[in-house]
Structure 1
Amino acid sequence: MDSRTHSGPSPSTNNTHFMVPRAPNALFAGREGVIKRIIQSLSPSNQLNKQKRFVITGLGGQGKSELSIKIADLLREEYWGIFWIDVDNELSAKQGFLAVAKQLNPVAESVADALLALTNVKNHWLLILDNADDPDFDYQAYFPSGTYGSILMTSRVTECSRFNTVGSIALAGLQLDQCIPLLLNAAELPQDQWSSHYRDAKDIVQHLGSHTLAIIQAGAYLARGFCKFNEYIQDFQRQRGLLLKYRQRQATSRYGDVYATFEASAARLEQMGTDASRDALELLNIISVLHYTPLSIELFDKAWECTHKLLVMGILNSRASPEAFEDDDDAQYIKSFWHFPGQLKKKESLDKWHFLHLPEFINNGDEDYKPRRLLNAISLLDSLSLIKNNHFLSVSMHPLAHAWAKDRQSRQSQFKSWMTAGCILAVSTTNSQLESFWETRGDQLVTHLSSYLDSNTDNQISSQSAPRVIPILLQCGRALDLMDDYNGLEQVCRTLQNQHGIDPSHSSVDFVEVYELIASMYMNQHRSVKAIHALKVILHLRTTVYNNTGYTLLYSVSKLASALRRKGDFSEAIALLDYYIAQSKTRLPATDPNLLRLQSVLATLYERTGQASKAIKLLKKVIAIQTTIFTFDDPILFESQHNLAIAYYQDTQFTKAIKLLEYLTTVQMPIFREDHPSRLLTEKMLAKAYLITGRFESALKILERVVLMQERTLSVHHPNLLGSQHALAKAYLETGQVLIAIQILEIVVAMRRKIYREDNPERLASQIYLARAYGRDGQIKRAVKLLKQLAHIRATEETALLDYDDQLSAAEELTYWSKQLERRSSVEDLVYRSGQLELDSD
C-alpha cells in the first residue's frame, strides 16, 4: 500500500483526470484496516456486474473527508479518472458536476449532462460525493449509471449507508494508540520528547473523546504555546467554547473547527422548519443539560403516563375534582405532589405551569399515546450523527457534541432547557408505580440527575422563577433518595435549605414533602435526633392540616418509626406502629402495600429488641402476601426479604440467613448497578454471615468489593462506608492479616470519634476491635491502655442496633488482655530471673 502512496499530483500513465481538492494531510494517521477494506471494495480489479458504491458515515469532524482524500491518493494509479464533488448543497453540487463535465464534454450545461458524460466513459472512474448531509435529499440523483464507475460517498446521515453495494462503515474515533501520536505530531513536538508528554497526551485524548478534529485543534493550540500539555485540560474546562472554536492556520478542515462541524448539522434542522426538526432541536437542548451517556427513552414514556393520569384527574380543569379518586392509591400519591385548580396550594407542589412546559412530543394531548414525535426526533438527530440511537432503548452523545449542544444556547435558552428537562424529570417521579423504574434504572438515571443538578443555573433562579424550581428540586431529590444516592440527595437538600430558606424547624404548611426529603438526608447521615424532629413535624401537619389517611400518612409513620429505631427509642417506635397498624387494619385490606410496609418495619423492631422469632413470624407473613402483589424483583419485596435474613442472623439461624442472602445477591446482580447501595447492603450482610460461620476468605472477597464501590461514591466519614470498613477489618483480623486490620480500624476509629459521641455503640465497637487487633499483634500494653479509656463508658440502648457479634464489652475485653499482659510480665520476669541465676552461677 505504501508503495502506491503519492504526496502530490505526479504524472501517471493510468490516470488522466485527478480532480481532488488537495493532497492528503501530513497529520493523517491510522485507519489502516478501514483503508484496506475500502480499497479492496472499490478497486477496479474487483470486477462485479454492478456499480460499486461504498458509504462512509459518522459524526462531523471524525475525518470522513480526510479518509476519502487518502483513498483517492492510494487508488490514483488504478483509475482513469477520480472526480471529487462537494454535494453539501445543490449549488456546490451543480458547480462540481459541471467542472467534471467540462473535462469530458465541453458543451455540457447541467448535472444531467455531466452524469451522462460519466455514463458513456468506457474507462474506470471513481466519483467521490463528499458531505451528503441533507437527510431530506435523495442522493441517488447524483449516481451515474453503468458499471465502469465506482462511487465513494461521505455523509453524516446514517441512512445514506443504504446506498452502498459493496460496503459501508460508520466512522468512529481513532484508537487511543493512534490518537496520541496524532496529538503529539499536531503539537509539533520532537519525537525524542514524546515519552515525557505521553501521559498528559493520553489524558487530553480521553478528555476529548478521541474526536479527530478536536485532537488536531488541541495540538495546534499547544504548538502555538498557549499552554503546556499538563495545563490543557484545565484550560479546556475553563474556556471550552474558545478551545473548540480554535482553528489551525494550515491544512484546516472544511468547517474550520469542532463546533462549526456540529453547527452545520443544526443548521440543516433549522432550515427544515418541520415539527420533526423542531422536536429534534428541543430534544437536543434537553439532553444538553443532562449527561452524554445513555439516557433511557423510557423516561419520556413514564412522564407521559403521569401526564395522562393528570389529565384524567383534571389538572387543566378549573373545576377539577381529584377527590373523586379517593380509592385510587396512585391518584392519592399524585395529589401529594401536584396542585389542582381549586385545591389548597403548597409552594412545593407542581402545578399546571409545569404540565404545560413539557415538550410537545410528550404532552400533545394524544390519549392513545404512541411516541411517534419523540421517535421521529430521535431518528432525525441520529440520521445527522448528532446522537447515537441505541435501538430506541436509549440515546447518547459524543461528549464534545454534548458540550456544543449546551454552549450553542444563550444563557436564557439554557435556563429554559434546564426547566423543560426538570419538568420531565419531576413529572416522571410523581407516580407511585414509577418508583421501581427509578430504583432499577439507577445506573443510568443517577448520572443524568447529577449532571442536571450541576448545570450552572443557580445565578439565573430569580424570585419569580424560584416557585417553579423548588417543586422540581423536590422531585429530583426524591428520585435520588429512591436510588440511594446520598451525595446527590444532600446536594438537593442543601440547595433547598441554603438558597431557598426551607427549614423543618419553621413548620410551614407549604413544605411538608421537602421536610420529609430533608429527614431522609438526616437519616442517611445517622443524625437521628434531627430526623425525628422533622418527621414529627411532618406527622403533625399530615394529621392536623392535610388530614392524610392513605399512602402519604403511612409512609411518614414508617419513616418516623425507622428513625426512632435507629436512635434506640424502641418502645416509642413500637407504640407508634401498633397504633397506626391497628387503625389501618379497620379500613385497609391485608394486601395494602402501605400496611405491609408498616408491619415489616415493626418486625425489625422485634428483631432488635430480642424478639427475633416474633420478627421472623411476622416477616414470613408479610413476604407471603407481598409475593402475590409484587414481582420477584421488586425493591419493596427485596427490603422485606433482607429484613428476614437479618432476623435469621440475629436468631443465630445462619444457614437460613445465608441461603436467603445468596438468593438476593443473585437476583439483584442483573438489576442493580454494581455500586447500588441496596445491592452493597445485601452483599455486606452476606459477608458478615460468612464471617460468623468461619468462611473468612469468601467474606473477605465480598467486603473488599463492597468497600471499593463505597469509596467511589461515599464521603470518607459516611456511616455506611465506615461500617463496611469495620467489617472488612474484622475479616482481615480473622484471616491473620493483623497489620492491615489495624490500619483500617485506626481510620474507622478516627472518623467515628469525629462524628459520634463517646458512648455511641458503633464508635465503641470499632475501638474495642482495634484494641483486640493490637493485642493479637503483640501490642498488649497498647490494647490495655485503649480499653481502660473505654471501660468506664456505658453504651446507650442503641447497642441493640449492632449485630450481636459487635455487642462487645470493653470491661470483658480489658479483663482478658490484662490477664494476657500479666502472663507476659510473669514470663518476662521468669526469663529475667533465669538469666540472673545463670550469671550468678558463672
Structure 2
Amino acid sequence: MQRTFNRVHYIRQEELYHIHKTLSDADGRGIAVLCGMGGIGKTQLAATYAECYSVDYSDIFWLDAKSEDSAKMSYVGMAKKIVQEHPSASQLSKITTESKEDEIMTAVKRWLNHPRNTRWLMICDNFDDPAAEDIHQFLPEANHGSVIIITRSSTVKIGCRIQVRNLDIADSLEILSDTSLRKTAINDPDAAELAKQLDGLPLPLAMAGAYISRVGISFTDYLRLYNASWLRLQQPSLGVWSYMDRAPMSTLQLSFERIRQESELSAQLLQLWAYFDNQDLWLELLREGSSGGPVWLRQLTEDEPSFKQVVRVLSNYGLVEVNQPRASAIESEGYGLHSYVHMWTVHILNEKWKVEIAGLALECAIQRRLLRHAARCWSFVQNGMVDDDGRAWALHSLGYLYAQQGKYGDAEKMFQRALHGEERASGPDHTSTLAIVNGLGLLYADLGRLHDAEMMYQRALQGYEKALGPDHPSTLSAVNNLGLLYADLGRLHDAEMMYQRALQGYEKALGPDHPSTLSAVNNLGLLYADLGRLHDAEMMYQRALQGYGKALGLEHPSTLSSMDNLASTYRNQGQWKKAKELHVQVMETRKTVLREEHPSTLTSMDNLASTYRNQGQ
C-alpha cells in the first residue's frame, strides 16, 4: 500500500541531508535507520525525503514491516505497481490474482535483484520489534538499491542509525500554523507556549492544530484544555505509560472528547478500531459483521456517504488518513490510523477488553484484503480473548483464507477448531460440520497428506449420503474429490469409478451441460489420457469443449482448457493438423483475453512448440 499524508510544511534539513548522504555514498546497498519515539515524525520524514529526492530513484516502495503478514501484503501492492508501471517485467509474468503471497514476494524480490535494476528505494515502516522479526527476510538479497527502516527500537543492528529528534520551536510553529489555518501563529506567544508544551512532537502538534481549526478556539484556550486533560490522564486507572507520553496522550484525549460531542458514531468507530489492524479499514469490512452486530454498527455501515461522513470527523481532527486507492479496486477506499493513535485506542480508549467486540471483528475478517486483520483476530482466539462458540463458520472461513495464502499450519488449527465447535453445536453429521470436514480434506490434499485427506473425504461422503441422498450436489462434490485423490494416488480404477458416479449424478441432478457436469467429463478425459485410452479421452474432451463453449463462451478459461486438452490428445494420436489448429486458436485467444506474458498463454506456446518438435519442425 502506498502511504498518503496530511501535508504539513516543515523541513528537517539536517536529517534529510544525513539520509541522502547515507544512501548516496553507500558502496552497494545503502540502509538508513530512522529511530525515535512514537509521534516524533519518522514516517513523515521518510515521506518528505522520498518526495524531495524522487528523481534519484526509478521506483519508490513502501513496506509495512510490522509483521510477516503485513510485509507480504505490501509485496502484493508492490507487484501491482510494478506490473502497471513496468509491463515488460518478465519476473512477474507468471503472477496472477490466484498467486500465493510467498510466490508474489519471491517474484518481486527477483525483479528488485536484477543487476540492471539498482535505483529503487524501499521504505520499511513500523519495524518496531526486531526480536520478533528479522528485517532481512523482508529485503531483496542483492547488494544494491536503497532502504530506509523506520523504527521505535534502538536495537536494530543494520544500516546507519539516524536519531529523529524533537522539532525546534520554529518548525513546531510551522505545523501549528499550517494545521490550525492561522498564519499569525508564527508570532503568537501563546502558540509558542503550546508548541513548547507539546515538546516538538509532530503528531500532537498536528492534532492540536486540527482541533483549534475545527472548534474555533484560541491557542490560550486550547492550552488550558490541554493541561486539564493531562490532570485527568494522571488517574491511576488510565495507566499512562510515562511523562514522555503527556503530549500525544493529552491531545488525543482532548480530540476524542470533542469527537464524541460531534458524532457518537465516530467515537464508537474509533473504539472499534482497536480490535482491527491500524491500516486499511473500509466500509465493506465492517459490513461483514453488521447484520448480527449492534444497532450503531448497522447505522455506521448503512451507506457509503454516511460512512464517509463518520470517518471525515476523525480525519478533521488529524486522527485518520485516507489510503491511496488502488487502480483495480472494487471496494471503497480504505483508511489508516497512525500506529501511536492505534496504540492509544487499544490501551487507553479501550481500557477494558470487550469480548463481544473482539468476536465481531473475528466475524468480519474473512477476505484476502483482510489478512492483516485476520492475523490480529486469530491471536484473540489463540490467547482466549474471544469466545469462539457459535463462530465455527468464521474460523472455517479464516482457515480457507490462510490456506489460500499457503499458511497451512495455522489453517489446519483453524479448521480443527471450527470442526470441534460445529460438532458440539450441530452434531457430527450435520451438513455444516461436513462442509468443514470436506475443507480439511482439501487442505490435507494440498499438503500431500493423502491418507488423511481420504479419511476426511470418506467421512464427508458418508455423511452427505445419509443427510442429503446419493445424488445431491454436495454428495457428488465429495465423490469427485475422492476421484481426484485416487488419481493422485495412482488408483486409476477407483478414480474412474468415482468420476463415472459423479458424472451420472450431475447429469441427473443438474443436466448434461451444467459446468459441474462438464468438469466431471473433463476429469474423465484426463484419466483416460493417463491410461492411454486416447479415443475415449478424445470423446470426453470434445463433449467438454462443446458444452463449455455453449454454456460459458469460447473465451472462458474452462473452454480453452478443454480445447488445449483435446489438441494435446490429437498430438498424441499423430493428428498433427488438428492439434496445431487448436493449439494456435488457444494461444491467440489467450493472448487477446489475458496477455502474452500470462502463464496460461506461455503454456499454450509451449504446447504448440511441442507439436512442431514432434513433427520434426
**TM-score under structure 2 length normalisation:** 0.53
1:289 aligns with: 277
Cα separation, 1, equivalents of 2:44 and 2:476: 57
Secondary structure of the residue aligned to 1:596 is: helix
Aligned residue in 2 for 1:571: 493
Quick one: which of 356, 364, 387 aligns to 1:424? 364
1:516 aligned to 2:425? no
User: Which aligned pairs between 1:144-223 and structure 2 lie closer than 5 A?
Assistant: 182=15, 185=18, 195=26, 199-201=30-32, 211-212=43-44
| Aligned-partner Cα distance in 2 for 1:557–1:478 | 21
Of 346, 368, 371, the match for 1:409: 346
Partner of 2:523: 601
Shift of 1:389: 6.4
Deviation at 1:593, TM superposition (A): 3.9
SS of the residue corresponding to residue 586 of structure 1 reads helix
Matches within 5 A, 1:648-659: 648-652=567-571, 653-659=579-585
Aligned twin of 2:74: none
Q: Is the 8 A contact 1:577 1:598 kept in 2?
A: yes
**Secondary structure at the counterpart of residue 374 of structure 2:** helix
Contact 2:434 2:460 in 1 (8 A): yes
For residue 604 of structure 2, what is the aligned residue in structure 1?
Answer: 686
Q: Distance in 1 between matches of 2:468 and 2:278?
A: 35
How far apart, in 2, do the equivalents of 1:537 and 1:296 lie?
40
Aligned CA distance change for structure 1 residues 581 and 660 (closer, same or farther; 3 Å) = same
1:351 alignment partner in structure 2: none
Residue 590 of structure 1: CA displacement?
Answer: 3.5
Q: Post-superposition shift, 1:235?
A: 4.7
Alpha-carbon shift at residue 446 of structure 1 (Å): 2.9
Q: How many equivalent residue pairs?
A: 420
How many angstroms does 1:562 deviate by?
1.5
Task: Give the match for residue 733 of structure 1.
Answer: none
Determine helix, strand or coil for the equivalent of 2:406: helix
Give 1:570 deviation, angstroms: 2.1
CA pair 246-272 structure 1, distance change in 2 beyond 3 A: farther
**Contact residue 477 and residue 492 of structure 1 kept, 8 A:** yes
- Mapped to 1, the partners of 2:592 and 2:272 lie a distance apart of 37
Q: Select which of 350, 353, 374 maps to 2:307.
A: 374
Q: Residues 570 and 397 from structure 1, CA distance in 2 versus in 1: closer, same or farther, beyond 3 angstroms?
A: same
Q: Which residue of 2 aligns with 1:488?
A: 407
Deviation at 1:474, TM superposition (A): 0.9
Could you tell me how far 1:557 is from its partner in structure 2?
A: 2.4
Secondary structure at 2:321's aligned position in 1?
A: coil
* Residues 297 and 469 (structure 1), Cα distance of their counterparts in 2 relative to 1, 3 Å cut: same
> In the TM superposition, what whole-angstrom CA distance separates every residue of 1:419-438 from its partner, at most 9, and x where no partner exists?
43432344xxxxxxxxxxxx
Give the share of equivalent positions with the same residue, in percent. Answer: 11
SS in 2 for 1:409: helix
SS of the residue corresponding to residue 467 of structure 1 reads: coil
Per the alignment, residue 84 of structure 2 pairs with none
What code does the residue aligned with 2:564 have? Answer: A
Q: How does 1:13-52 map to 2 (within 5 A)?
A: none
AA in 1 matched with 2:346: Q
Aligned position for 1:63: 8
Distance 1:515 1:581 in 2: 23
**CA distance change for structure 1 residues 283 and 451 in 2, over 3 Å: closer, same or farther?**
closer
Shift of residue 559 of structure 1?
Answer: 1.9
**Once structures 1 and 2 are overlaid, which stretch shifts more, 447-456 or 191-200?**
191-200
Instruction: State the SS of the aligned residue for 2:346.
Output: coil
Structure with higher Rg: it is: 1
Q: For residues 125 and 286 of structure 2, what CA distance do their matches in structure 1 show?
A: 38
Given that 1:289 and 1:418 are in contact with CA atoms closer than 8 Å, whether structure 2 keeps it comes out as no
Q: What TM-score do you get using the length of structure 1 for normalisation?
A: 0.41
Residue 661 of structure 1 deviates from its aligned partner by 4.5
Deviation at 1:539, TM superposition (A): 0.8
For 1:452, which of 365, 371, 374 is the aligned residue? 374
CA 1:232–1:215: 2 relative to 1, 3 Å: same
Given the alignment, which residue of 537, 540, 550 partners 1:618? Answer: 540
1:279–1:377 CA contact under 8 A, matched in 2: no
Partners of 1:612 and 1:647 within 8 A in 2 = no
Shift in Å, 1:465 = 1.1
List runs of 5+ in structure 1 lacking aligned partners. Answer: 1-57, 68-178, 217-230, 308-353, 427-444, 697-842
2: CA distance between counterparts of 1:550 and 1:180?
71
Structure 1 stretch displaced more, 262-271 or 638-647: 262-271
Post-superposition CA distance 1:13-70 (Å, at most 9, x none):
xxxxxxxxxxxxxxxxxxxxxxxxxxxxxxxxxxxxxxxxxxxxx835x533x37xxx
Q: What CA distance in whole angstroms lies between the structure 1 residues aligned with 2:41 and 2:439?
A: 37
Identify the residue that residue 227 of structure 1 maps to in structure 2.
none
Gaps of at least 5 residues in structure 2 are 49-123, 133-149, 155-162, 173-194, 211-251, 572-578
Superposition pairs of residues 134-533 of structure 1, within 5 angstroms: 182=15, 185=18, 195=26, 199-201=30-32, 211-212=43-44, 235=128, 248=166, 250-251=168-169, 253=172, 254=195, 256-257=200-201, 260=204, 267=255, 270-274=259-263, 276-278=265-267, 280-281=269-270, 284=273, 288-289=276-277, 292=280, 303=288, 355-357=291-293, 360=296, 363=298, 370-377=303-310, 379-380=312-313, 386-388=321-323, 390=325, 393-397=331-335, 401=338, 404-405=341-342, 408-410=345-347, 419-426=359-366, 446-449=368-371, 452-453=374-375, 457-458=379-380, 461-462=383-384, 465-479=387-401, 485-497=404-416, 508-509=428-429, 511-533=433-455
Amino acid at match of 1:422: L
Measured on the aligned residues, the alpha-carbon RMSD in Å equals: 5.3
Q: Secondary structure of 1:201's match? A: strand
Q: Looking at both structures, which has the greater relative contact order when contacts are Cα pairs under 8 Å and sequence separation is at least 6?
A: 2
User: CA separation of 1:567/1:472 partners in 2, compared to 1, >3 Å: closer, same or farther?
Assistant: same
1:355–1:589 Cα change, 3 Å:
same
- Whole-Å Cα distance in 2 between the matches of residues 591 and 469 of structure 1? 37
1:421-820 mapped onto 2 (5 Å cutoff): 421-426=361-366, 446-449=368-371, 452-453=374-375, 457-458=379-380, 461-462=383-384, 465-479=387-401, 485-497=404-416, 508-509=428-429, 511-545=433-467, 547=469, 550-627=472-549, 629-630=551-552, 637-639=556-558, 641-652=560-571, 653-664=579-590, 666-668=592-594, 680=599, 682-683=600-601, 685-686=603-604, 688-693=606-611
- CA shift at 1:283, angstroms? 7.3
Question: Do the aligned partners of residues 465 and 389 (structure 1) sit closer, same or farther apart at CA in structure 2, a change above 3 Å counting?
Answer: same
**What residue identity is the alignment partner of 1:212?**
Q
